[in-house]
Amino acid sequence: MDRRVVVTGVGLITPLGTGKDTTWSGLCAGESGIGEITRFDTAGFNTRIAGEVKDFKATDFLSKKEAKRTEPFIAYAVAASKMAIEDAGLVIDASNEARIGVLTGCGLGGLSMLELTARTVETKGPNRVSPFFIPMLIGNMAPGMISIICGAKGPNASVATACAAGAHAVGDAFNLIKHGQADAMITGGVESVITQTCIAGFNAMKALSTRNEDPQHASRPFDRDRDGFVVGEGSGILILEALDHALERGSKIYAEMAGYGMSGDGYHMTSPCPDGDGAIRCMKAALDYAGIQPADVDYINAHGTSTPLNDLYESRAIKALFGESAYNVPISSTKSMTGHLLGGAGGIETAFTTLAIHEGIIPPTINFENPGEECDLDYVPNQAREKELTYAMTNSFGFGGTNASLILKKYTD
């Protein structure tokens, strides 16, 4: 089978707010979701800022019993899935449950539960460990709980490919539907690791911004004065459906999935290739899958982490593959507003790209004041831009040299 696949529902929980409309409004307005960390005492930490989810109540989406036994990353994924299902008007029942699956990406899973349990073992002994420790730790409990609570019994899996996980999940779900293994998929990414060990670990790598006195201007992709990324949290979930399935039930359609590319750098544990080789091959694979040329792309939602190397090398890769058209395509990094959701980034950024196509609005790259070295492309600085989009690409690149690119297009019948 080779079916067309469309996006019919979007659910978002981000540092800009809970819900698609709240997040999208903030994104288009160029708002920052970055602030001081409130989850733990940051005394002694080089970085004291992050993109926390601020207005979320797990009990709005889960029972009190479920919420008590659920790590934040699982609760975010379930909540975003419920919102996406409602947005799509998708009813899951005995007639279709085996043909609707769940596939999500997550980089680190229940890190806060791991920290808590390690302290419990050390201070109170092994017999005081919660029986829910393992279920609350593992990344695949996000799609597992989505399946249990929402009733989807089709393909069920979790992707753990660092910062490319959410995009890989969407791409894999796309292929499952395209080749007839499911009629619809609940898919995207999630992460919630604003914890002591996470911040300390990334600080040890000198990967995080230390602009603690000015958090809203800390994430500044492609800018000359960028000094590292900012950790964010949340979830972005999409409902993907076979076109015939969506049309049969009269669903609205946001956009159509068009292409998916993957590659491996084979270069370094954490640094991308200086010449952008892995990113180039990944983006080209997505273009080939979609059957289009670089000049056909109307917008790129960049990986754009705000780290010195990533922004430089991604810009090089785009210029190498797109040639002269690289200077004509608008490129933005929404991480400037949400921070970097790690394994959840590909989920929310695919949702943002979908909404950009549907609404005809390109979100900006905020905090872009002075172009960084070799960062001389159109990064849609500081203000959203109205533009009719036919094809749009979103990039996600992860530690270990794992890469994913997705292409979406405006739906036409």
The one catalytic residue among 163, 198, 282, 375: 163
Active site residue 340: yes
Helix ranges (H only) for 151-256 are 165-178, 196-204, 243-248
Where does residue 338 fall: left (phi above 0), alpha (psi -120 to 50 degrees), or beta otherwise? alpha
Structure tokens at 368: 């872009």
Tell me the longest C-alpha to C-alpha distance in the chain: 64
Choose among 158, 266, 271, 199: nearest CA to 37: 199
DSSP 8-state code for residue 399: T
Active site residue 303: yes
The one catalytic residue among 168, 245, 340, 358: 340
- Evaluated on CA atoms 290, 188, 392, 339, the torsion sign reads negative
**In DSSP terms, which residues pair with 242 in a beta bridge?**
5
Question: Residue 54 and residue 46: Cα distance in Å, rounded?
Answer: 22
The one catalytic residue among 168, 245, 303, 358: 303
Active site residue 163: yes
- The DSSP code sequence of 278-335 is HHHHHHHHHHHHHT--GGG--EEE----S-HHHHHHHHHHHHHHHGGGGGTS-EE-TH
Question: Residue 7 and residue 239: Cα distance in Å, rounded?
Answer: 6
DSSP 8-state code for residue 208: B
Question: Residue 273 and residue 228: Cα distance in Å, rounded?
Answer: 18
Which residues are identified as catalytic?
163, 303, 340
